[in-house]
Amino acid sequence: MKSNPKTFTKVKSYVPYHSPCDPCPPIGRKYYSTPPNLYLGFQPPNLPQFSPIEALKRGTLWPVFYDFYENPYKKRAGKEHE
């Protein structure tokens, strides 16, 4: 699905079904990352670039692909156990 690269979210989540017969406690909300390259398709030429030093730090030459990972489970740990 081709959508404007700026309207997608980088992390998505879902709640798996928890069966009453399931002996384990429910997992609750599970998260999965959806990086920018999924939404860009074929990379257009002349995209804006990071400076070389910045590119090495960020791990990519083009800001459009930059995808910082912070652990959704950790951040949402508080809300998880309502």
Partner 1 sequence: MNKTLPQEYYKQLEEIQVADFVLIELTLYLDTHPTDTQAIEQYNQFAHYSKQLKEKFESAFGPLQQGSLNRTPEFWAWKSGPWPWQV
The contact set with partner 1 (CB under 8 A) reads: 42-43, 45-46, 52-53, 55-56, 60-62
d(CA 52, CA 60): 9
| Least distance (Å) between residue 49 CB and partner 1 | 9
| Least distance (Å) between residue 2 CB and partner 1 | 18
d(CA 79, CA 64): 30
Q: Which is nearer to partner 1, 20 or 48 (CB)?
A: 48
Amino acid letter, residue 1: M
Q: Which is nearer to partner 1, 11 or 47 (CB)?
A: 47
Burial of 65 (0-12, 13-18, 19+ CB in 10 A): middle
Count of CB atoms within 10 A of residue 36's CB? Answer: 17
Q: Which is nearer to partner 1, 13 or 43 (CB)?
A: 43
| Least distance (Å) between residue 68 CB and partner 1 | 18
